[in-house]
C-alpha cells in the first residue's frame, strides 16, 4: 500500500556532504581557526537556503550559542532541533544525547526532540520509548503526536490512531500541532484501510501553516482520492 507523507518530522532534506568535526558531547568545544569558521558559516548558509522554514543566520546563531555554552540545555536543544531539520541527524544526536540520557539534565522538550531524531534515523522503538518518557513528564498533544508516529512506523496503527485522537482532544488552539495530528491520523487510518475516515481527517486540516505542510497535505489528499 502506498503511504501518506508524514508531516511531523520525517520530511527528509538533502544534507550537505561536509560533516563538521566540532560537535562535542556537552563538553566545551575547542576554538576553531578563521578558515574553519568560514567553512562552517558557508555550510550553514547553504543549509538555510535549502530549508524555507529556517531564517537566514538562524543556524549560525544557534551554533554560536551552543559553542559558547555547550552545557546549556536550551542552547543544545535549539541547535540540535535545527540540525535535525536540515537532516544532520548524527550531529543532532551527538549534541542532545548527554542531556536526554541524564535525568538531571533532561526535560519534556529534550526527550521529545531526541525521540524525533531517533525516529528520523529509523530507530522507531527507541523513539517510542523516549516519547513515552516525555509523556510521563507531561502528557501533551505533542508527546501524543510523536508517540503515535513511532508506533505507526512499527505497524501499530490502531495504537497510533488512539494516541493521535487523544492528542486532538487536548491540542487546544495550536494549529500546527493539530494539522500534524490530523495528517498522521489520516496515515494511520489509511493503513487500516479506513479510506473515508482518512479523507475526513485530511479535510479537517486548516491550510494556514507553512508552505511545506500545505504541499504535503495536498499530496496526501490526492493520494487518498486516487485509491
pLDDT tens sequence across 59-72: 888 888 998 999 99
Are 114 and 76 in a shared domain?
Answer: no
- Decide: 180 and 204 in contact? Cβ < 8 Å: no
Are 62 and 146 in a shared domain?
Answer: no
- pLDDT (0 to 100) of residue 149: 94
Are 192 and 177 in a shared domain?
Answer: yes
Q: Which of 24-38, 58-72, 95-109, 128-142 has the lowest mean pLDDT?
A: 24-38
**DSSP state, 193?**
T
What's the rounded Cα separation, in Å, for the pair 120 and 113? 11
Are 75 and 138 in a shared domain?
Answer: no
Q: What CATH number is given to the structural domain containing 190?
A: 1.25.40.10
Please provide the DSSP assignment of 119-170 as one string: HHTT-HHHHHHHHHHHHHH---HHHHHHHHHHHHHTT-HHHHHHHHHHHHHH
59 in a domain, yes or no? yes
- pLDDT (0 to 100) of residue 97: 95
Are 155 and 86 in a shared domain?
Answer: no
Are 120 and 210 in a shared domain?
Answer: yes
Are 116 and 168 in a shared domain?
Answer: yes
- pLDDT (0 to 100) of residue 39: 46
Helices (H) and strands (E) in the chain, counts: 11, 0
22 backbone dihedrals φ, ψ, rounded to 5°: -90, -5
Domain boundary among 74, 104, 134: 104
Instruction: Residue 126: give the domain boundaries.
Output: 107-216
Question: How many CB atoms neighbour CB 68 within 10 A?
Answer: 11
- Decide: 213 and 198 in contact? Cβ < 8 Å: no
Q: Which of 3-12, 41-50, 148-157, 193-202 has the lowest mean pLDDT?
A: 3-12
CA distances from 124 to 6, 73, 128, 150, 200 (A): 14, 24, 6, 5, 27
80 in a domain, yes or no? yes
Are 56 and 99 in a shared domain?
Answer: yes
- Angle separating helix axes 195-203 and 175-191, nearest 10 degrees: 170
The answer, yes or no, to whether residue 58 has pLDDT greater than 60, is yes
Domain boundary among 84, 104, 124: 104
Interval 140-165 mean pLDDT: 95
The answer, yes or no, to whether residue 14 has pLDDT greater than 60, is no
Domain boundary among 54, 74, 104: 104
Q: Which of 43-47, 155-159, 177-181 has the lowest mean pLDDT?
A: 43-47
Are 81 and 147 in a shared domain?
Answer: no
10 in a domain, yes or no? no
pLDDT tens sequence across 93-117: 999 999 999 988 999 999 999 999 9
Are 112 and 153 in a shared domain?
Answer: yes
63 in a domain, yes or no? yes
Are 54 and 142 in a shared domain?
Answer: no
pLDDT tens sequence across 174-208: 888 998 899 899 889 988 989 889 888 888 886 65
The answer, yes or no, to whether residue 29 has pLDDT greater than 90, is no
Structural domains of the chain, count = 2
Amino acid at each position: 500500500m502506498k503511504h501518506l507523507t508524514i508531516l511531523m518530522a520525517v520530511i527528509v532534506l538533502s544534507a550537505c556532504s561536509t560533516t563538521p568535526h566540532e560537535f562535542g558531547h556537552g563538553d566545551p568545544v575547542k576554538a576553531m581557526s578563521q578558515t574553519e569558521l568560514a567553512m562552517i558559516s558557508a555550510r550553514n548558509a547553504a543549509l538555510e537556503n535549502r530549508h524555507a522554514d529556517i531564517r537566514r543566520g538562524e543556524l549560525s546563531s544557534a551554533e554560536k550559542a551552543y559553542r559558547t555554552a555547550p552545557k546549556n540545555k536550551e542552547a543544545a536543544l535549539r541547535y540540535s532541533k535545527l540540525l535535525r531539520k536540515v537532516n544532520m541527524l548524527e550531529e543532532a544526536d551527538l549534541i542532545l544525547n548527554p542531556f536526554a540520557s541524564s535525568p538531571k539534565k533532561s526535560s519534556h522538550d529534550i526527550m521529545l526532540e531526541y525521540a524525533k531524531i531517533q525516529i528520523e534515523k529509523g530507530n522507531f522503538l527507541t523513539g517510542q520509548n523516549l516519547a513515552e518518557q516525555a509523556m510521563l513528564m507531561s502528557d501533551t498533544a505533542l508527546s501524543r503526536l510523536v508517540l503515535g508516529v513511532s508506533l505507526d512506523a512499527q505497524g501499530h496503527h490502531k495504537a497510533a490512531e488512539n494516541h493521535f485522537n487523544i492528542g486532538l482532544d487536548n491540542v487546544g488552539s495550536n494549529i500546527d500541532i493539530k494539522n500534524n495530528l490530523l495528517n498522521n491520523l489520516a496515515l494511520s487510518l489509511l493503513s487500516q484501510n479506513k479510506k473515508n475516515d482518512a479523507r475526513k481527517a485530511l479535510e479537517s486540516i486548516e491550510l494556514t501553516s507553512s508552505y511545506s505542510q500545505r504541499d504535503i497535505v495536498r499530496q496526501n489528499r490526492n493520494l487518498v482520492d486516487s485509491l
